[in-house]
Amino acid sequence: MGEIDDKARKFLPLTEATYYILVSLIEPRHGYGIMQNVAAISEKLVRIGPGTLYGALTNLVKQKLIERVGEQESEGERRKVYGLTGLGKSVILLESERLVALAEIGRLAMEKLKTVNPEK
């Protein structure tokens, strides 16, 4: 476990888009499915354009965080389906731990700011 974590740590921190894409791939999805899922889980606050998505998918495959797991055909369109690799899963876990710790610090920072400057 230690070795794969060392490898995974090199990818941190992830860009926001990469994090959303990886989290979307906890269940295998095609590109279109990723775009829809990101819009859904972020309540439409985050959108990933096709140019950004294509670049990210190519990089993530190269870095072996994701892999092609098959193809899906619907309405005459064939789409490649991607899923996480073991390394990809470790990267999400480590990055999520980092983000949760950061969010905790953020929560404390907000409280502190409110007591120092109560009007705001």
Partner 1 sequence: MNEKSIKKIFKIHWAWNDDKEERWLEKMSREGWHLTSPGFVYRFEKGGPSDMVYRMDFQSLRKSDIKEYLGLFKDAGWEHVGRFGAWYYFRTKASGGQVPEIHTDYESRIAKYQRVMYLLVIFFAVIWSQVLTTLNQHRDPHAFWYAVKAVQIIISILMGYAVARLFLKINENSPA
Residues making contact with partner 1 (CB under 8 A): 15-17, 31-32, 35, 47-56, 77-80
- Would you say 80 or 112 has its CB closer to partner 1? 80
Min dist CB 55 to partner 1, Å, is: 5
Report the alpha-carbon distance of residue 35 to residue 50 in Å, rounded.
Answer: 8
Instruction: Locate all alpha helices (DSSP H) within 1-120, ordered by sequence.
Output: 2-9, 16-24, 31-41, 50-62, 86-116
Nearer to partner 1, 15 or 96 (CB): 15
Minimum CB–partner distance for residue 4 and partner 1 (Å): 25
Q: Closest separation between CB of residue 115 and partner 1, Å?
A: 30
Minimum CB separation from partner 1 for residue 111, in Å? 28
Q: Edge to edge, what strands does the sheet with 29-30 contain?
A: 29-30, 77-84, 66-74
Residue 70's SS3 state is strand
> CB-wise, 10 or 78, nearer to partner 1?
78
On whether the CB atoms of residues 82 and 69 are closer than 8 A, the answer is yes
Nearer to partner 1, 8 or 35 (CB): 35
